[in-house]
Structure 1
Amino acid sequence: MTTPVLLEEEDQAPRKARRTRRLERHLKRGGNEELNIVSMIDVFAVLVFFLLVSSSIAAARLNVLSLNLPSNDQATPPEKLPLQLTVSLLPGAMVVSDRNGAIRKLDNTPAGYNIQALSEVLVETKKAAPSENSLTLLVAPDVPYDDVVKVMDAARLTPAEARNLGLPRELYPLISLGDAQGTTPVSPGATP
């Protein structure tokens, strides 16, 4: 049993000597090598350029924001609030409302939604607020798509009679769609 142990030690002794000789040769050849930092300097130069450019762009964005804060001695008139016109398509009726509440409730006719009456109401509201261009259309889940398109067309295009009176060709060209809150018609005095 002692013989195999001696053989292993004898095999390891030449390996250690070989490793030691290789390490000594390596140290003699390259022992005084210096660290090459030229590539690292190149990376830092590009990084500094990138940081300078990005900081100037960020500073330019901050300078775009110009605030004119009112002073205490100046009385400014309050800005006119937008109309926020809304047409709600419910299963039994249409409700036209603005930011203050319901303007008019239009019950369905036997043929369906009363598009003619809606057009008249929208012409009246356009005459009252000619600068308003947006309208929100709230649709109940069971309303047919064809009716939605008819209402959108009535809200977007001005009738010929109203155009003859001087209204623009488009009543409310900016129409947003949404889901109606309830499926029951709202009473005229209540907010939809």
Structure 2
Amino acid sequence: MRFRRRRSHDTEVELNITAFLNLMVVLIPFLLINAVFAQVSILQLNLPAVNDSSTPTPENEKEKLTLEVLIYTDRYEVVDRSSSAVLKIVKNKDDKHDALALHDFLVELKGKFPKVTAVTLLCEDDTPYEDMIHTMDAVRLYSKEINGQPIKQELFPDISIGTAPPDRTASLGGEA
């Protein structure tokens, strides 16, 4: 038997993209409206600075403040690295770091040293991420009321992060 091949006449087939266009008409505005919710905040952080070998003059040394905030499990310590003086110890409040008390102290300190913009946050290895973020927020900005309007001002915007030295008070049984 002989099979006959039937030649099909080439007919033009039209591509129907109506359903695809309907989908795009609905999907594109939806994605554009929801794109606002996908914002990412980036905070520029630095490594702690190494002390330079230049010797400061006595006039500059008086105004010089190298601020460090040490985050331990039971407290914050605010330290001046240039003089190795502990400026303030902020104990935890209700088993949480008291970022508000730290913030209030740093606002007072900013009044005494208005030109200082750098701070180094030193954390223990097991410091929770949330505690670090709350500390950065407390250190970076403060609200100042001008003409009855709260205005955000920079407190210590140049933040460096590093590892805290071992807790001395933990080895002494909680007494410094």
User: TM-score per shorter chain, which class?
Assistant: 0.5 to 0.7
Contact 1:90 1:184 in 2 (8 A): no
SS at match of 1:147: helix
Q: Does 1:80 align with 2:60?
A: yes
2:88 corresponds to which residue? 104
Contact 1:95 1:185 in 2 (8 A): no
2:72 corresponds to which residue? 90
2:114 corresponds to which residue? 130
1:140 corresponds to which residue? 124
CA separation in 2, counterparts of 1:94 and 1:176? 16
Pairing 1:10-159 to 2, within 5 Å after superposition: 78-81=58-61, 82-98=64-80, 99-100=82-83, 101-158=85-142
Q: Does 1:164 align with 2:145?
A: yes
Contact 2:73 2:127 in 1 (8 A): yes
SS at match of 1:106: strand
How many percent identity over aligned positions?
32
Contact 1:87 1:95 in 2 (8 A): yes
| Aligned-partner residue type, residue 120 of structure 1 | D
- For the pair shown, the structure with the greater C-alpha radius of gyration is 1
Structure with a larger share of its residues in helix: 1
Query: Structure 2-normalised TM-score?
Result: 0.56
Contact 1:92 1:185 in 2 (8 A): no
Q: CA deviation at 1:78?
A: 3.7
Contact 2:74 2:95 in 1 (8 A): no
1:18 corresponds to which residue? none
Aligned residue pairs: how many?
Answer: 109
Contact 2:99 2:138 in 1 (8 A): yes
Q: CA deviation at 1:183?
A: 3.1
Cα deviation 1:37-94 (Å, max 9, x = unaligned): xxxxxxxxxxxxxxxxxxxxxxxxxxxxxxxxxxxxxxxx744133001100011111
2:162 corresponds to which residue? 178
SS at match of 2:101: helix
Contact 1:85 1:96 in 2 (8 A): yes
CA separation in 2, counterparts of 1:178 and 1:145? 14
1:17 corresponds to which residue? none
CA separation in 2, counterparts of 1:165 and 1:94? 30
SS at match of 1:181: coil
| Aligned-partner residue type, residue 113 of structure 1 | H
In structure 2, stretches of 5+ residues that fail to align are 1-56
Structure with a larger share of its residues in strand: 2
